[in-house]
Amino acid sequence: MNVKEAVIGRRNIKQFKPDPIPNEQLMEWLDAASYAPNHRMAQPWDVLVIGPETREKLNHKANFGDAPVVLAIVAHGAGTEMDREENLTAAASFVQNFSLVAYEAGVGVRWTSVGGKAENREILGVSEGDVVVGVIGVGHPTDVPAPKTRTPMAEKTRYLP
């Protein structure tokens, strides 16, 4: 699989098999994800591995698709709005990188926004000013949804003088 195939083929997975993900494999994917672009090599992200007790407290309506691994990706806060946006963008790139390397290995990701709720930020112990970019389920998909039609980029591209 080449990069283009991975980008086009990756999907948000709704349901997972119970097969475990070895921690060594998970750490390899996280290490690869850390090569996401980030301003001044700030590496402005933290990864929280969600255990069963915390997962239950988060009370996700679909239980993260029964994924065997659940992670929260947190972008560091910053002193300026510009730095905050750069950190958030870098952390989102980290999640995309992680999703692509997992997909290459036949593993899917379910990216949720459940970490954005104030009560869930508290459950996760997220510091004031930090942003939960996503709480993601990780596992072998039971089914990979068909791709949805995208708007052609020619309709979304402008050329400036």
Quote the pLDDT of residue 140. 98
Quote the pLDDT of residue 85. 96
**Is 73 contained in some domain?**
yes
Angle 67-35-96 (CA atoms, 0-180°, nearest 5)? Answer: 40
Confidence of residue 129 (pLDDT cuts 50, 70, 90): very high
**Is 111 contained in some domain?**
yes
Angle 81-84-86 (CA atoms, 0-180°, nearest 5)? Answer: 110
**Is 154 contained in some domain?**
no
- CA dihedral over 21, 111, 60, 17, signed as positive or negative: negative
Q: Average pLDDT in the 10-23 region?
A: 97
pTM above 0.85, yes or no: yes
Domain count for the chain, please give it.
1
**Is 80 contained in some domain?**
yes
Taking residue 137's Cβ as centre, other Cβ atoms within 10 Å add up to 27
Cβ contact 112:64 at 8 Å:
yes
CATH number at residue 110: 3.40.109.10
**Is 95 contained in some domain?**
yes
**Is 155 contained in some domain?**
no
Q: Mean of the per-residue pLDDT values for the chain?
A: 96
**Is 153 contained in some domain?**
no
Domain hosting residue 77, numbered range: 9-145
Helix or strand (DSSP H, E) at 111: strand 108-112
Summarize the chain as % helix, strand, coil (round to 5).
Answer: 45, 20, 40
User: Tell me: the pLDDT tens digits for 63-118?
Assistant: 999 999 999 999 999 999 999 999 999 999 999 999 999 999 999 999 999 999 99
Q: Average pLDDT in the 141-147 region?
A: 94
Calculate the CA dihedral of residues 24, 30, 35, 39 and round it to 10 degrees. Answer: -140
Quote the pLDDT of residue 26. 98
